[in-house]
Structure 1
Amino acid sequence: MTELTKKRPEFRNINAFTDLTTYRLPLAGWVSILHRASGGLMFILLPLIVWLFDTSVSSELSFERFSAAFAAGIGFVPGWFFKLVVLAIIWAYLHHLIAGLRHLYMDVAHAVSKEFGKSSAIVTLALSIGLTLVLGAKLFGLY
């Protein structure tokens, strides 16, 4: 090793307070973390998801109440906040689905390489964010 070559740091025991600010996680790592976060978000918001589904299909009157929640809100919670929460659920579902399919494909095809990890992570993020933007535009009434 020459003197001009900079020695790369070794992380053996990562300290969350000092090392995480300098640690550069690869894109595939971020997708994996977001896969877990999206699953956790869907689990936490499951009561809301069940309420949304139940209210939307129970009767015509409950569907009107459901639609009014998005338009005018309920109580002190404005309608745009409900839309943002539903947008988060949409992103969580789409990201979890696409990242899960990515993980299944890698498990079945044994496609574990640095290049495939990076390219499939880019595709996962592009698809999940792109589809979320399209469905979010529909949710907020842009088309």
Structure 2
Amino acid sequence: MTDVDLKGKRPISPHVQHGAYKLTLSMVTSISHRMSGVALYVGLFFLAYWLIALAIGPEAFETAQTLWGSILGRLVLFVFTWALMHHMIGGIRHFIWDIPAMMEKPQIEFLYRATLIGGFVSTLIIWVIGYAVM
């Protein structure tokens, strides 16, 4: 049996190579959809805290309102709103594909962009309206 030098002849795993993957719109949309799902789970704990504080009494509710009225609290609410809108629009996109409709490459790219942009735009609209009625 001869010793064969395999160094340099074995395939290298893609994660070892730099630049092996090109970030695509579908990857960004998929990753952001998963991130928004996690944000929604975390956000539900904050919503539960607010509802429990409401049920406990005025002092607890005032503490919760102070927390959510702070800069950090509003930032968390803004991210929660974005997660909700982005995830909803992503769900609509998947519903469209389940029909099946808009399955051509240009239409798919349009839906990816609409999901990403629509999440941010709808979040901004909600917050602008919210501040306008305050």
Question: TM-score normalized by structure 1?
Answer: 0.68
- Please give the root-mean-square deviation of Cα atoms over the aligned residues, in Å: 2.7
Alpha-carbon distance, 1:63 to partner: 4.5
Query: Which runs of 5 or more residues in structure 1 are unaligned?
Result: 1-11, 72-78
Name the amino acid aligned to 1:125: L
Name the amino acid aligned to 1:131: S
**Structure 1 residues 18, 55: closer, same or farther in 2, change over 3 A?**
farther
Question: TM-score normalized by structure 2?
Answer: 0.72
Query: Which residue matches 1:91?
Result: 82
Secondary structure of 2:99 counterpart = helix
- TM alignment of 1:67-82, pairs within 5 A: 67-71=65-69, 79-82=70-73
User: In terms of Rg, which structure is larger?
Assistant: 2
Query: Which residue matches 1:113?
Result: 104
**Structure 1 residues 112, 53: closer, same or farther in 2, change over 3 A?**
farther
Alpha-carbon distance, 1:52 to partner: 2.5
- State the percentage of identical aligned residues: 23
CA contact (8 A) 1:106 1:112 kept: yes
Aligned residues: 121
2: distance between equivalents of 1:46 and 1:85? 12
Alignment pair present for 1:100 and 2:91: yes
2: distance between equivalents of 1:106 and 1:134? 26
Query: Which residue matches 1:74?
Result: none
Point out the structure with the larger helix share: 2
Query: Which runs of 5 or more residues in structure 2 are unaligned?
Result: 1-11
Alpha-carbon distance, 1:101 to partner: 1.1
